[in-house]
């Protein structure tokens, strides 16, 4: 049976060179991040489950890029059926993973809301809910993508020398996707965060000035990292999510918004560290250990030099 070569046009390949460099940097950053996680038992906690799920999705997106980039750069010749399957994967997988990530962050915020407002550790008290939530978050977006293709609401767009993409038939489907992937999770996230901050800053019924000061300090600790995280995350993540349904991924605007999405992936470990202070503390401990060992090594060497002199 004849095979079909997977190729990019020279212009498409050149436009993706910046994305390739960003993905290399992102791979290095994520690798260092996971090494730090395995080196610190304090970071292996259930309360970090949603964050790790989110970062694993980042790794899957990086693997997706390198897989497709390598196959097209090497101009692999593949079976037509397999080529079609790959084309569907290329067109829909990024949409799927971004949807999953939006709801993973919503699940994180929801868990924190119950912990802050109701003092409930859902990771221990509601294990079944956590499992069901995982199942729904990963399965329902896949069902959404499959139904839209099977019902003919979306079509597979492919041209020789270009990346495969999704073409939407109905504007109602685009509005539905915009609601499910962006407006609903982001709005709910912001609402829950506002309730958390309001609860943390509430001083109603508290007479002690010391407790009020501690409450306000806790509010600042919760507010500043959260605002910093979501401001940077939305600035880098939103352009692609908002635009991908209305522009072709091979256009200049499609390439730039996709590049911003990968930049967001590259800085995600840093943003996560801003959001959860436990990562910063672990990295500070690691840096202190490195400096301590360096001083232990340097001191005897310096003593020997003085002795020789």
What pLDDT digit, counting tens, does each position of 74-114 carry? 888 888 888 899 999 999 999 999 999 999 999 988 988 88
Whether 146 is covered by a domain: the verdict is yes
Q: Per the structure, how many domains does the chain have?
A: 1
Distance (Å, whole) CA 271 – CA 30: 12
Whether 158 is covered by a domain: the verdict is yes
| Structure-token pair, residue 188 | 């709910």
Whether 121 is covered by a domain: the verdict is yes
Kindly report the CATH number assigned to the domain that includes residue 95.
1.20.1070.10
Model confidence, pTM? 0.85
Domain extent at residue 104: 4-304
DSSP tag of 247:
S
Condensed to tens digits (0 to 9), the pLDDT of residues 245-271 reads 888 888 888 889 999 999 999 999 888
Distance (Å, whole) CA 177 – CA 136: 17
Whether 242 is covered by a domain: the verdict is yes
Between helices 252-275 and 49-73, what is the axis angle to 10°?
A: 150
Judge whether 47 and 123 are in contact, CB under 8 Å: yes
Whether 131 is covered by a domain: the verdict is yes
Whether 309 is covered by a domain: the verdict is no
Condensed to tens digits (0 to 9), the pLDDT of residues 120-140 reads 888 888 889 999 999 999 999
């Amino acid at each position: 049976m004849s095979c079909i070569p997977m190729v990019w046009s020279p212009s498409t390949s050149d436009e993706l060179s910046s994305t390739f460099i960003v993905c290399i940097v992102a791979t290095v950053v994520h690798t260092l991040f996971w090494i730090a996680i395995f080196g610190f038992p304090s970071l292996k906690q259930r309360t970090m489950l949603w964050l790790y799920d989110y970062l694993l999705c980042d790794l899957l997106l990086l693997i997706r890029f390198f897989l497709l980039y390598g196959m097209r750069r090497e101009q692999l010749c593949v079976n037509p059926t397999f080529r079609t399957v790959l084309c569907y994967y290329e067109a829909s997988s990024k949409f799927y993973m971004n949807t999953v990530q939006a709801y993973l962050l919503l699940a994180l915020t929801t868990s924190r809301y119950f912990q802050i407002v109701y003092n409930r550790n859902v990771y221990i008290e509601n294990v079944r809910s956590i499992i069901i939530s995982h199942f729904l978050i990963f399965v329902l977006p896949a069902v959404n993508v499959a139904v839209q293709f099977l019902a003919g609401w979306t079509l597979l767009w492919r041209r020789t020398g270009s990346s495969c993409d999704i073409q939407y038939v109905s504007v109602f489907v685009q509005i539905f996707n915009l609601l499910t992937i962006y407006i609903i999770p982001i709005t709910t996230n912001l609402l829950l965060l506002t309730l958390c901050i309001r609860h943390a800053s509430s001083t109603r019924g508290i007479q002690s000035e010391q407790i009020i000061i501690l409450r306000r300090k806790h509010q600042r600790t919760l507010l500043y990292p959260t605002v910093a995280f979501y401001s940077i995350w939305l600035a880098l993540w939103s352009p692609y999510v908002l635009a991908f349904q209305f522009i072709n991924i091979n256009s200049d605007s499609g390439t730039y918004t996709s590049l911003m999405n990968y930049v967001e992936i590259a800085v995600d470990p840093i943003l996560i560290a801003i959001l959860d202070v436990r990562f910063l503390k672990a990295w500070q401990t690691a840096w202190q250990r490195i400096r301590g060992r360096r001083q232990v090594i340097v001191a005897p060497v310096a003593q020997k030099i003085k002795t020789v002199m």
